[in-house]
Amino acid sequence: MEAAASRGAAFSRYGSSEPKKVYIYGALDLGPTILNRAFGLTWDLSGWLLTPFMAKFGPEIVGKMRARVMKNLTTTFASHYKAKVGLEQMLTREAVSEYNARRTGEKYLVVPNG
């Protein structure tokens, strides 16, 4: 990103003056966030959560967003699960060690009456 932003610009030891913004979304990896300073000094780093983001828009817009999600629940917004498990099964030692591993692409759907 920094190489593309610096192309054709005069050299600066501080990198390009093109603003860059990095968002941390989710928390599958609970380790420290390590930043390589090779991207210059004109940047922002922040977190992003859906609920505070939606609160900025008000109930009418959020209602439209929810309606769109519901309309496309089996296509655009479809979820895929590693397994569907009942509440009792979720409390077993084996299940806890599986879903607590926080692996990408391995979501579990809890079926309360399953």
CATH code of the domain in which 69 resides: 3.40.50.720
List the domain range (segments joined by +) for residue 14: 2-78
67 and 103, same domain (yes or no): no
Please state, rounded to an integer, the average pLDDT across all residues of the chain.
Answer: 85
Tell me how far apart the 2 most distant CA atoms of the chain are, in Å: 64
Q: What is the pLDDT of residue 49?
A: 85
- Per-residue pLDDT of 35-52, as tens digits, reads 877 777 888 888 888 888
Contact 77, 55 (CB under 8 A): no
23 and 60, same domain (yes or no): yes
Is residue 17 predicted with pLDDT exceeding 90? no
41 and 89, same domain (yes or no): no
- Per-residue pLDDT of 57-81, as tens digits, reads 999 999 999 999 999 999 999 988 9
